[in-house]
């Protein structure tokens, strides 16, 4: 649909699409227009909360990423549904808390294990959009299962370029048959293809090519960079921009982000070149906060507490923005908490696609809130759970109750007054702590245990078994 269409009619259609979650897919698809807005999700990996200009970054210029917030909205309280990689991606692509279906850990790279990945009965965003006429492409990192049945081409995507595992070398890839996860072949539509560029540049080039190929179709593009995740490999083109940064880890991190920003710029300029900038809804976010301890990459999350793998704010509140020129007011700031789970229902509403009616969808269509048609918070509460419940959190308005570790007592924070989570109010406000604990318990009762363990947990378990046998 062109941006020239009547705003009231469009919002009415978007609201109708949300209501269509209870209607048969065929009926809703039949009513959809022949040309819908394009949808792009740009996801970075281990990108620090503070490492964008709108959150205070001064030493890493990223003009193209910054332009998304400048031309649209930045989310002051933008969250992901988990503090590390694969579970966040599972939630984003399903619009559901991933603990509902046991995807609470990172799956090991196991091409023969059907349990290690996004369950095959889960419905993904490209599958939701398909009845509305969308062609869908994934460029970059998958990390939602390595078996043939888990492959993105079997999960709703029509085209693919990237890699199946949880990370990759930026400079080289192995031959077919390579089993080392970070060296597996790069794939194009499921077939091995040579890596001839710096990986970040190759992903950006393929994303721009996807847009050009499908400029006459409504499309969904999921551009999932693995940068700035380790290994910290850079090329001179980007490293030369940051020789002045003294900390070598921060210097490499800056170079890796600069490569991503160049790629985002290529994508945005391609949209302009083919006349689609005003017809494209773009989300930008990271999969979690920057890692500050294990596999630290030089990122910063200040003023938030902690980082990746923590349910404190530094692990789950991320740099998050969206742009749809002509629809979302430029330079706006949305102050209420929102979630990466909201991307799927928002995209479905924009695309005139029905939501699955046979399961809970935890995300909310954000469009009426971003255009001013609705006010107030989209969510009454947001929830997080790690390790089957060893750590968890719930946010309601300005209050957050967080249990940071299995041996820790729940802590209560007023995030409006204490964004760094330094002053625990649990003892002073026991009624609030008890109410939020009860809300978490009700939510937690809907969930199932983790279906698989993260690779690190598996290694620890095997080590304990070996030690027990020796004893």
Active-site amino acid positions: 85, 143
CA dist 283 → 153, 313, 415 (Å): 22, 21, 25
Pairing relation of β-strands 219-224 and 135-141? parallel
Q: How far apart are the first and last CA of the chain?
A: 69
DSSP secondary structure of 94-138:
HTS-GGGGT--SPPP--TT-TTSBS-TTSPPHHHHHGGGT-EEEE
Residues 6+ apart with CB under 8 A from 429: 412
Please state, in angstroms and rounded to a whole number, the distance separating the CA atoms of residues 176 and 194: 10
CA distances from 394 to 206, 270, 332 (A): 39, 40, 26
Q: Which pairs count as long-range contacts for 57-62, CB under 8 Å and 24+ apart, including other chains?
A: 57/300, 59/245, 59/250, 59/254, 60/242, 60/253, 60/254, 60/257, 60/258, 61/258, 61/261, 62/257, 62/258, 62/260, 62/261
Number of H helices, E strands in the chain: 13, 16
Cα distance between residue 453 and residue 442, in whole Å: 24
């Amino acid at each position: 649909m062109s941006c020239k269409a009547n705003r009231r009619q469009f919002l009415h259609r978007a609201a109708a699409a949300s209501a269509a979650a209870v209607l048969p897919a065929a009926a809703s698809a039949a009513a959809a227009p022949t040309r819908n807005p394009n949808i792009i999700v740009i996801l970075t990996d281990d990108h620090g909360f503070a490492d964008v200009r709108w959150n205070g970054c001064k030493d890493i210029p990223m003009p193209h990423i910054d332009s998304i917030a400048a031309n649209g909205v930045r989310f002051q309280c933008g969250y992901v549904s988990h503090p590390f990689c694969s579970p966040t991606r599972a939630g984003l692509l399903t619009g559901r808390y991933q603990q509902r279906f046991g995807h609470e850990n990172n799956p090991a790279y196991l091409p023969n294990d059907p349990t290690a990945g996004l369950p095959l009965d889960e419905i993904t965003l490209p599958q939701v959009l398909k009845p509305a006429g969308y062609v869908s492409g994934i460029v970059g990192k998958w990390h939602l299962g390595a078996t043939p049945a888990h492959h993105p081409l079997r999960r709703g995507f029509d085209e693919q370029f990237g890699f199946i595992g949880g990370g990759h070398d930026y400079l080289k890839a192995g031959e077919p048959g390579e089993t080392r996860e970070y060296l597996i072949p790069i794939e194009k539509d499921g077939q091995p293809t040579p890596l001839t560029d710096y990986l970040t540049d190759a992903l950006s080039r393929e994303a721009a090519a996807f847009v050009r190929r499908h400029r006459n179709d409504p499309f969904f593009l999921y551009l999932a960079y693995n940068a700035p995740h380790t290994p910290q490999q850079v090329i001179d083109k980007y490293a030369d921009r940051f020789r002045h940064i003294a900390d070598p880890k921060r210097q490499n991190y800056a170079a890796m982000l600069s490569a991503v920003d160049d790629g985002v710029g290529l994508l945005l300029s391609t949209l302009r070149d083919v006349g689609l900038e005003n017809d494209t809804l773009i989300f930008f976010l990271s999969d979690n906060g920057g890692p500050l301890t294990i596999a630290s990459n030089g990122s910063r999350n200040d003023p938030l507490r902690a980082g990746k793998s923590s349910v404190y704010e530094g692990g789950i509140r991320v740099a998050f923005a969206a742009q749809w020129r002509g629809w979302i007011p430029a330079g706006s700031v949305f102050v209420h908490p929102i979630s990466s789970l909201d991307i799927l229902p928002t995209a479905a509403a924009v695309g005139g696609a029905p939501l699955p009616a046979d399961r809970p969808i935890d995300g909310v269509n954000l469009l009426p809130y971003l255009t001013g048609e609705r006010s107030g918070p989209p969510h009454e509460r947001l929830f997080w759970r790690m390790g089957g419940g060893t750590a968890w959190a719930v946010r309601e308005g300005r209050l957050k109750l967080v249990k940071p570790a299995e041996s820790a007592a729940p802590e209560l924070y007023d995030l409006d007054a204490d964004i760094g989570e330094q002053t625990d109010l649990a003892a002073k406000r026991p009624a609030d702590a008890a109410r939020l604990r009860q809300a978490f318990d009700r939510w937690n009762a809907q969930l199932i245990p983790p279906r698989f363990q993260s690779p690190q947990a598996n290694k620890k378990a095997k080590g304990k078994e070996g030690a027990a046998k020796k004893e």
